[in-house]
Structure 1
């Protein structure tokens, strides 16, 4: 008989899935923003609303954990899954907020590709959560997430390299400021990708411990 990570009597699975729905919704809007650089203010507002809703779910998970004596998986794993999904959502908000604030006239191609990969990683994490609840194997999703992370690392190096490529001491203030702004954006995108990989590691660890 297969193991059950999330028994029906416990709400953690439903709450994780609800939390993830907010996460993927925000990731989709961010991807659309980076792909079609229009309606920036409206899309940023929508992400802010989703982030607030996600934080409320995170608090519910923390409260449920504090009131539950026996948990379906290790308490530290429940806490880490909750915290990491919240972190990714907060970073998506941070990326969108800076895009809205910095007044860019275009989105750099490497950043667009990385954000698209981030969305794909988050989608695969959703598949993992579903498979965990159904006692199914998730190796394929973990492999996809790892490959997407490696591609993001390459794209990040390309993106950072392009920022400084051809720069010289005569660059005007606006050009230098643009470099600084984009460095902030790339830093947040990299952090979001790293946290998505961390969530994959946590989920994979849970599967291995309960196999």
Structure 2
């Protein structure tokens, strides 16, 4: 049903959105924080990524509203874009809370969460690159991997909260860390929503 030789502007927009999310999550993972001022820098930079993401969503929405034909259902295109952007919003929200809490040192649980989220965004970009090539069935493997990473995040959440209540005695830190763990689990859930949307698109169009 697709012209495989001609790049589709809607699929290009989805790839651009995915790459912005990927770049933001990699930036958050790689950024080294040694001071409160660096936390502010991290939070500010993630806000810039979020703003860029909002612009990309707006441009795609405008394109959808002014185009007579789309390569797949316009609702699926928009839903996929919004679900990807949810990941970016979640990462920005997480880094903003690190800055609000002045939490310079994160623990291994948070690092593991972020690493799995980064891996999810890598798989999302690979799936969007396949969508650009109109290779819908090949996208399924990446959706499966994203869901596997999300399941691993479920395990991390259970272990992190159990460990928190076993070993932390400061009630303020318990509140802060539990909040941050749950924010990261929400981001993993957003990644799973992207995978579910990818599978829906495959089912309807492959």
**TM-score, normalised on structure 1?**
0.88
- In 2, are the aligned partners of 1:5 and 1:72 still within 8 Å (CA)? no
1:19 correspondence with 2:45:
no
Q: In structure 1, which of residues 195, 205, 210 is the aligned counterpart of residue 205 of structure 2?
A: 210
Q: Give the C-alpha shift of residue 139 in structure 1.
A: 3.2
Structure 1 unaligned spans of 5+: none
- In 1, are the aligned partners of 2:114 and 2:184 still within 8 Å (CA)? yes
Q: 1:103 to 1:135 in 2, by over 3 A?
A: same
**Where does 1:1-211 land on structure 2 (aligned, <5 Å)?**
3-4=1-2, 8=6, 10-33=8-31, 36-38=32-34, 39-136=38-135, 137-166=138-167, 171=169, 175-211=170-206
Query: Aligned partners of 1:76, 1:7: CA distance in 2, in Å?
Result: 24
Q: Give the C-alpha shift of residue 97 in structure 1.
A: 0.5
Of the structure 1 ranges 83-92 and 114-123, higher mean CA displacement relative to structure 2 is found in: 83-92
Structure 2 unaligned spans of 5+: none
Of the structure 1 ranges 108-117 and 39-48, higher mean CA displacement relative to structure 2 is found in: 39-48
- Residue 104 of structure 1 aligns to a residue whose secondary structure is coil
**TM-score, normalised on structure 2?**
0.90
Q: Give the C-alpha shift of residue 10 in structure 1.
A: 4.4
Q: 1:140 to 1:162 in 2, by over 3 A?
A: same
- In 2, are the aligned partners of 1:149 and 1:197 still within 8 Å (CA)? yes
Q: 1:77 to 1:195 in 2, by over 3 A?
A: same
